């Protein structure tokens, strides 16, 4: 059977644009001979729609879109994700469903069985789980339809679940497996996903059409990479990563497997961040970004990513030197914007900073310079950047990295300002890796920015290493605590120094209040700060 894989960038709640895009993809696939076109999970409304799903009007709009799309299925069938109201008197109001449309009508509805409710997923908040299993017959083939998580308990090896939907469906002797997914990117997700798809094909001796959503939805970046895989587990069609694509796979023809070069993890992170920026702006209806360029590596990297996402003319760098800025900071920043060919301004923070000091002098009296004055400088910068943002309609990009965000090394309402935290899920050590990747063909980020010792430059001669452990060690401890949920005992058993472990975990836990007010962070790891990590602010644990 000739099946179209429609890997589309869906805009949450934008029913008009989504429906047009879906119908256009149907006609494109039809023109290429598709008999059936498969779309991603909940692609009528976009994933995740979150609490929009609690509005009756929202569910009605989904149904109206389905009826509109069904009218285009006289020749070619459509399998597409949308919520369905639960007709039973008990249980959650909705199912997360795959709608099979053909000859103008809804022919069959399949509900999702396994509802992820962990990390960034809240599906038990909205959906009732499926408990019955049927195939769909179409043109002489029996189709086993599953939705995302449904294939992630292959052979019942996932301890979270007691059901394996494909184990049930295979008893009905299907010919093809079809999976509709909205599987967000993390740097380890790509290889895990392919392992799961292959394991399903081999276990059931069936081909699978796997269609994933593409595009970013604020924090979550969907990487696409949809595939058709044959019953031997060989890829017969690989769709692009981080781009829309409509492509046809013929499950009846045996293909020589194409040569696939799996992209490197660092290139995937890079591409994910670029898409994350691009979609945040596009979906909010903005074109231009502003950011503060400090001369350090974090803002240099964010500038390069933003220029790739939005175009060199659309990213304004503002240099905001102070008395504590090193001479190199301005020179290095100027070299970087010159390399990129992007616009910049220089705004000194001295006058407003001094004005604050004068205004506050009667209250601060002779108290020594401390964190209050350090934060003041950061807040003057934040305020100047926001003034440019408000006056000219830029979105301010935040340049905090994950290591800083973790330990609270940043000023709320200062360098923590911004509409989007581009590298807030990228540890400092990964910031260096990404910067070297940016420079893979030429020195875009000046070498001096990469090699200088990190500094916030908020007092004379300040270095990050004055108050933080070395990033090499810090990032390892943070990774084990945040991504791997290892506690103090386990960390000491791994060989980390106990006082250091206690100090780092204490810093992480004591700064939940600060992260609560941070901008949304583009998620590229299996555990990012944001919607997938929900911590008490006042909790006293390890704090």
- Based on the shown chain and the rule CB under 8 A, indicate whether residue 487 belongs to the binding site for its own copies: yes
- Interacting residue with its own copies among 20, 137, 252, 345 (CB under 8 A): 345
Q: Compute CA distances 226 → 56, 189, 447, whole Å.
A: 32, 13, 38
- Based on the shown chain and the rule CB under 8 A, indicate whether residue 447 belongs to the binding site for its own copies: no
What residues does 290 pair with on adjacent strands?
Answer: 316, 396
* 41 assigned to active site: yes
Minimum CB distance to its own copies, residue 259 (Å) = 37
Closer CB to its own copies, 61 or 237, in the complex? 61
SS3 493: helix
Closer CB to its own copies, 43 or 251, in the complex? 43
Could you tell me which of 321, 317, 326 has the C-alpha nearest to residue 349? 321
- Based on the shown chain and the rule CB under 8 A, indicate whether residue 499 belongs to the binding site for its own copies: no
Phi, psi angle pair for 119, to nearest 5° = 45, -120
Binding segment for its own copies (CB under 8 A), chosen from 170-178, 332-340, 359-367, 462-470, is 359-367
- Interacting residue with its own copies among 55, 64, 191, 494 (CB under 8 A): 55
Binding mask 20-49 for its own copies (x = CB under 8 A): --------------------------x-xx
- Interacting residue with its own copies among 103, 359, 448, 467 (CB under 8 A): 359
Q: Could you say which residues in the range 504-523 bind its own copies, by CB under 8 A?
A: 513, 516-520
Could you tell me which of 409, 437, 405, 407 has the C-alpha nearest to residue 422? 405
- Based on the shown chain and the rule CB under 8 A, indicate whether residue 142 belongs to the binding site for its own copies: no
Identify the residue whose tokens are 């781009």.
243
2, 21, 112, 428: the catalytic one is: 112
Closer CB to its own copies, 322 or 339, in the complex? 322
Q: Could you say which residues in the range 250-279 bind its own copies, by CB under 8 A?
A: 279
Minimum CB distance to its own copies, residue 145 (Å) = 24
Between CA 353 and CA 373 the distance in angstroms is: 9
CA 417 from chain center: how many Å? 20
CA 143 from chain center: how many Å? 31
Binding segment for its own copies (CB under 8 A), chosen from 157-165, 267-275, 334-342, 439-447, is 157-165
Minimum CB distance to its own copies, residue 391 (Å) = 4
Closer CB to its own copies, 386 or 444, in the complex? 386
* 112 assigned to active site: yes
Q: Could you say which residues in the range 175-214 bind its own copies, by CB under 8 A?
A: none
Closer CB to its own copies, 440 or 489, in the complex? 489
* 148 assigned to active site: yes
H/E element, 407: helix 402-407
Identify the residue whose tokens are 């007010």.
517
Minimum CB distance to its own copies, residue 184 (Å) = 14
Minimum CB distance to its own copies, residue 375 (Å) = 5
41, 128, 219, 457: the catalytic one is: 41
How crowded is residue 331: how many other Cβ atoms within 10 Å of its Cβ?
13
DSSP secondary structure code for residue 480 in this structure: I
- Based on the shown chain and the rule CB under 8 A, indicate whether residue 75 belongs to the binding site for its own copies: no
- Based on the shown chain and the rule CB under 8 A, indicate whether residue 541 belongs to the binding site for its own copies: yes
Report how far apart the first and last C-alpha atoms of the chain are (Å, whole number).
59
- Interacting residue with its own copies among 160, 172, 323, 494 (CB under 8 A): 160
Q: Compute CA distances 220 → 94, 197, 400, 428, 480, whole Å.
A: 23, 22, 18, 21, 22
Please give, one letter per residue, the 3-state secondary structure of 100-140: EEECCEEEEEEECCCCCCCCCCCHHHHECCCCCCCCEEECC
SS3 content of the chain, % helix, strand, coil (to 5): 40, 20, 40
Residue 304 in contact with residue 340, Cβ under 8 Å?
yes
- Based on the shown chain and the rule CB under 8 A, indicate whether residue 355 belongs to the binding site for its own copies: yes
Residue 78 in contact with residue 36, Cβ under 8 Å?
yes
Q: Which residues are catalytic?
A: 41, 112, 148
């Amino acid at each position: 059977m000739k099946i179209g894989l429609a890997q589309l960038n869906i805009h949450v709640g934008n029913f008009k644009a989504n429906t047009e895009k879906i119908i256009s993809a149907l006609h494109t696939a039809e023109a290429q001979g598709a008999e059936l076109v498969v779309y991603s999970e909940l692609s009528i409304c976009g994933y995740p729609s979150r609490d929009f799903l609690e509005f009756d009007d929202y569910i009605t709009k989904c149904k109206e879109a389905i009826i509109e799309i069904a009218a285009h299925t006289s020749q070619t069938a459509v399998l597409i994700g949308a919520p369905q109201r639960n007709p039973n008197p008990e249980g959650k109001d909705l199912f997360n469903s795959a709608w099979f449309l053909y000859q103008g009508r809804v022919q069959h509805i399949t509900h999702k069985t396994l509802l992820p409710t962990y990390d960034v997923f809240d599906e038990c908040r909205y959906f009732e789980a499926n408990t019955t299993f049927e195939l769909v017959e179409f043109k002489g083939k029996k189709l086993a339809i599953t939705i995302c998580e449904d294939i992630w308990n292959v052979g019942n090896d996932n301890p979270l679940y007691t059901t394996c939907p494909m184990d049930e469906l295979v008893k009905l002797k299907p010919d093809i497996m079809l999976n509709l997914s909205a599987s967000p990117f993390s740097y380890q997700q790509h290889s895990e996903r392919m392992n799961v798809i292959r394991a399903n094909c081999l276990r059931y001796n069936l081909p699978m059409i796997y269609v994933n959503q593409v595009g970013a939805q604020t924090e979550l970046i969907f990487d696409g990479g949809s595939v058709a895989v044959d019953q031997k587990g060989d890829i017969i069609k690989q769709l692009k990563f981080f781009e829309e694509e409509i492509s046809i796979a013929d499950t009846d023809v045996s293909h020589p497997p194409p040569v696939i070069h799996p992209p490197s993890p660092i290139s995937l992170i890079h591409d994910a961040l670029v898409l994350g920026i691009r979609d945040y702006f596009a979906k909010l209806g903005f074109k231009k970004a502003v950011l503060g360029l400090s001369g350090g590596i974090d803002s240099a990297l964010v500038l390069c990513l933003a220029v790739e996402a939005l175009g060199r003319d659309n990213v304004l760098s503002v240099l905001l030197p102070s008395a504590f800025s090193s001479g190199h900071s301005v020179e290095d920043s100027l070299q970087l914007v010159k390399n990129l060919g992007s616009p910049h301004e220089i705004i000194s923070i001295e006058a407003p900073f001094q004005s604050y000091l004068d205004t506050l002098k009667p209250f601060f009296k002779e108290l020594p310079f401390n964190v209050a004055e350090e934060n003041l400088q950061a807040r003057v910068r934040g305020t100047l950047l926001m003034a440019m943002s408000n006056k000219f309609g830029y979105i301010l990009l935040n340049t905090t990295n994950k290591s800083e965000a973790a330990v609270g090394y940043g000023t709320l309402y200062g360098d923590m300002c911004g509409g989007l935290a581009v590298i807030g899920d990228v540890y400092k050590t990964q910031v260096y890796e990404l910067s070297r990747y940016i420079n893979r063909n030429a020195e875009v980020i000046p070498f001096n920015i990469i090699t200088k010792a990190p500094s916030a430059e908020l007092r004379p001669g300040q270095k990050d290493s004055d108050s933080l452990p070395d990033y090499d060690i810090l990032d390892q401890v943070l990774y084990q605590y945040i991504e791997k949920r290892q506690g103090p005992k386990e960390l000491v058993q791994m060989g980390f120094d106990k006082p250091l472990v206690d100090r780092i975990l204490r810093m992480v836990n004591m700064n939940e209040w600060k992260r609560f007010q941070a901008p949304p962070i583009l998620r590229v790891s299996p555990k990012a700060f944001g919607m997938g990590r929900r911590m008490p602010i006042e909790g006293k644990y390890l704090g």
